[in-house]
Structure 1
Amino acid sequence: MLKTVKIFTDGSCLGNPGAGGYGTILRYKRHEKILTAGFYLTTNNRMELMAVISGLEFLNQSCFVEITTDSLYVKKGVINWIPIWKKKNWKTTKKKSVKNIDLWLRMNKSLKKHLVTWLWIKAHIGHLENERCDIIARQSAKNPSIKDTYYETSKL
């Protein structure tokens, strides 16, 4: 029987692009794990993606996963856009490369291991875990320690 894990996520960027961070809370029964990292130069969308990816990649076995996010970019990307991009060899309808393709490919790979449901919530409405993730993400953005080399080199 698969375990049920709840993942709460948020990404933050101080400037867009700018220093960024993500906050992820994983919850299994009464156990909780917080994941976070700060990047020197990135975007808000990349941090929203990283928040989800970090949670999914942390799990070492297949699970039922309920992901709560305030990012329509992530939710729509997974539910609506990935199936289209895959059919078009990861190109947009305008035949351009998908933005943040490195992270979308990681997301696609990590989703295959789990049975995932998505809950979108409006940001900053007092949802306890979303507010916690926001605080964690902003704190990490204020103390970056990682270079987002894919983003930096793709912007040259």
Structure 2
Amino acid sequence: TGTVEKESDLSLFYQHIPALGNYALNKGIKVGLEIHGDVLKNGEAAKKIMETINHPAIGINYDTGNCIFYGDSLPEEDIVHCLPWIIHIHLKDKIGGYKVWNFPTLGEGMVNFKKIFSILKEKQVDVPMSVEIEYSGSFEHPVTYVDECVKKSYDYLQKVIV
């Protein structure tokens, strides 16, 4: 899930997030706040938010493409800021920088996944991950094209996972 879209709404978010955390805790689950938007824009912002929330059932869904798009931060440098709170990772590649919508097949962009996996291994962060491909904003692709991109992403990941 997300947080809020404006810094001015953070106090409202902080007021209500403990109730969501307590509900999740009672259900035996965790809530992942995604790196997404202009408030939770990268790992550095996530660290500050997580230190403020300080709830065992609230974590971070780290998105490797969104931290570039929203936070103008390279994930292989940025992820270290919020490692203790990561509970899920969206593996998403990126072409172009800040606010450029282009999220290609894994391995075709600028994200250094090998470095990210190395950091995760070194810091013993073992969390679920999912592949996210958003292309260049057009979602009118035939299923065969999507299948091809998923296969290419899988093949690429087999080469870079350490």
What is the TM-score of this pair, normalised by structure 1? Answer: 0.28
Structure having the larger proportion of residues in helix: 2
Q: Which has the higher contact order (CA 8 A, sep 6+)?
A: 1
What is the TM-score of this pair, normalised by structure 2? Answer: 0.27
Structure having the larger proportion of residues in strand: 1
